[in-house]
Amino acid sequence: GAVVSQHPSRVICKSGTSVKIECRSLDFQATTMFWYRQFPKQSLMLMATSNEGSKATYEQGVEKDKFLINHASLTLSTLTVTSAHPEDSSFYICSATNSVEQFFGPGTRLTVL
Amino acid sequence: KQEVTQIPAALSVPEGENLVLNCSFTDSAIYNLQWFRQDPGKGLTSLLLIQSSQREQTSGRLNASLDKSSGRSTLYIAASQPGDSATYLCAVNYGGSQGNLIFGKGTKLSVKP
């Protein structure tokens, strides 16, 4: 199947700093990528839909000014958590679709101290 | 509201047993449904994808069925092994080829040797 990578896999940062997470589709072009968040013992919840060349669509309750999404090319989307706080600590997973199936990245574990 | 529910939340079985995991969804107008496996602290591994026009999909010891009219899907695991221990997630796509997934909370499976 298609491969989606995420970088970094794990990040620990101080409160107030910004963290950028990259999501890449390695062997296919993805006009649409999705960013999900998973808190401990909870399921994945969609944060936003990232469309190449246009603004992301955010789910209700997700602050677009805090979670900046850029989808600059057909193989790369980035999520920047600005001014991170401990409550932003979570597992962030991206997915990319080839119009048939969604393929998920391995996730990024963010810990904000 | 479109919701996905998985029962049971946790399941513990001895090695060799056949088992069934259940997934129900509130809106039957789905595009497709996927079953994933998630190991602790890891990303998602896609197991089976069932399109709305299909009734079942099989891969090795896994068989997933779909009954849209009743809003249900089951994942059947034959001859379970300790390596099958993981959390199994059911996810429904309502949005088409570029649609996001709505996840259930998962069933945590433990297979005892």
Is any Cβ of chain B less than 8 angstroms from the Cβ of A109?
A: yes
Question: Closest chain A residue to B44 measured between Cα atoms?
Answer: A104
Q: Which long-range contacts (CB under 8 A, 24 or more apart) does B58-65 make?
A: B62/B35, B64/B33, B64/B35
Which residues in chain B are contacts of A109 at CB distance < 8 A? 41
Query: What confidence category does residue B62 fall into, taking pLDDT thresholds of 50, 70 and 90?
Result: very high
The better pLDDT of the pair A54, B12 is held by B12
Which of the residue ranges A16-30, A62-76, A91-105 would you say has the lowest mean pLDDT?
A91-105
Is any Cβ of chain B less than 8 angstroms from the Cβ of A35?
A: no
SS3 A58: strand
Q: What percent of chain B has pLDDT over 70?
A: 100
Which of the residue ranges A75-79, B27-31, B58-62, B94-98 would you say has the lowest mean pLDDT?
B94-98
Q: Has residue B103 got a pLDDT over 80?
A: yes
- Cα–chain center distance at B37: 8
Assess contact for B47 and B59: CB atoms under 8 A: yes
